[in-house]
């Protein structure tokens, strides 16, 4: 068992440099995520989301999945957050503090979230107490490896995904297009 052999030389009390870096970036990521879901300023929530997603990209790099890290930076930080900011702008979100950003059931939500966090962390720590990831050896997430597996073994899902993206594109255009009656009404009002 290679895992047991790897475990023999490692312990909780002697963290490696990668573990310390992972822990620090993880704390920053989690803090940014908590600010994202609790801040009263809507635009700040989107900007803190950038910090959280960027921190996750660094975590992917630390886990040697570099291609996924750059895809994360490109798609999430680059386009999803910009889309969210456009959405906030188009729904005329208030710029300053909005006191009603949280709905009335936030205490119930807090209870559910804390209970789920306690249960999940307990189960995960109990299950993986003696497992170590071996980060040495051949790189597992470089662009070469990712491209080879994606276009050798995962071609069909990849093509299906492009059809899904096309459908989403068409659906978004259809949904956000003004219908003829709407534009006629607008002209009347002007």
Partner 1 sequence: MHLAYPAVLAALLFCTGLYGVLARRNAILVLMSVELMLNAVNLNLVAFDVWLRDTLHSGQALTLFTIAIAAAEIGIGLAIVLMVYRNRGSSDIDRLRDTAEGPDPAGPAGDEASAMAQEAAQKTEAAA
Q: For the segment 117-146, give every residue that binds partner 1 (CB under 8 A).
A: 117, 120-121, 124-125, 128-129, 131-135, 140-141, 145-146
The nearest distance, CB 1 to partner 1, in angstroms, is 14
Decide: is 53 part of the binding site for partner 1 (CB under 8 A).
yes
Going from the C-alpha of 167 to that of each of 20, 86, 172, the distances in angstroms are 43, 21, 9
Decide: is 147 part of the binding site for partner 1 (CB under 8 A).
no
Decide: is 156 part of the binding site for partner 1 (CB under 8 A).
no
The residue written with tokens 């899904």 in the block is 164
Residues 165-184 that bind partner 1 (CB under 8 A): 165, 167-169, 171-172, 175-176
For residue 162, how far is the Cα from the chain centroid?
21
Decide: is 187 part of the binding site for partner 1 (CB under 8 A).
no
Residue from 24, 143, 144, 153 binding partner 1 (CB under 8 A)? 153
Residues 2-21 that bind partner 1 (CB under 8 A): 10, 12, 16, 18-19
Task: Check if the beta carbon of residue 76 is closer than 8 Å to that of residue 51.
Answer: no
Residue from 97, 114, 144, 184 binding partner 1 (CB under 8 A)? 114
Q: How many positions of this chain bind partner 1 (CB under 8 A)?
A: 90
Task: Check if the beta carbon of residue 61 is closer than 8 Å to that of residue 20.
Answer: no
Which residues have a Cβ under 8 Å from the Cβ of 35 and sit 6 or more positions away? Answer: 44, 45, 48
Decide: is 23 part of the binding site for partner 1 (CB under 8 A).
yes
Q: How far apart are CA 42 and CA 131, in angstroms?
A: 40
Q: How far apart are CA 87 and CA 172, in angstroms?
A: 13
- By C-beta, is 23 or 95 nearer to partner 1? 23
Q: How far apart are CA 128 and CA 7, in angstroms?
A: 12
């Amino acid at each position: 068992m290679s895992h047991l052999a790897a475990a023999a030389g490692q312990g909780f009390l002697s963290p490696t440099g990668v573990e310390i870096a992972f822990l620090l970036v993880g704390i920053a990521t989690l803090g940014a995520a908590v600010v994202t879901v609790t801040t009263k300023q809507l635009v700040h929530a989107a900007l803190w989301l950038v910090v959280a997603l960027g921190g996750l990209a660094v975590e992917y790099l630390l886990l040697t999945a570099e291609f996924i890290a750059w895809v994360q930076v490109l798609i999430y930080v680059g386009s999803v957050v910009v889309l969210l900011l456009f959405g906030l702008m188009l729904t005329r979100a208030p710029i300053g503090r909005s006191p009603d950003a949280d709905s009335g059931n936030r205490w119930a939500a807090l209870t559910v979230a804390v209970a789920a966090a306690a249960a999940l962390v307990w189960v995960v720590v109990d299950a993986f107490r003696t497992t170590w990831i071996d980060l040495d050896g051949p790189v597992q997430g470089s662009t070469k490896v990712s491209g080879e597996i994606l276009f050798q073994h995962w071609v069909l899902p990849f093509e299906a995904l492009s059809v899904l993206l096309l459908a989403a594109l068409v659906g978004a255009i259809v949904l956000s297009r003004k219908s003829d009656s709407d534009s006629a009404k607008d002209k009347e009002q002007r």
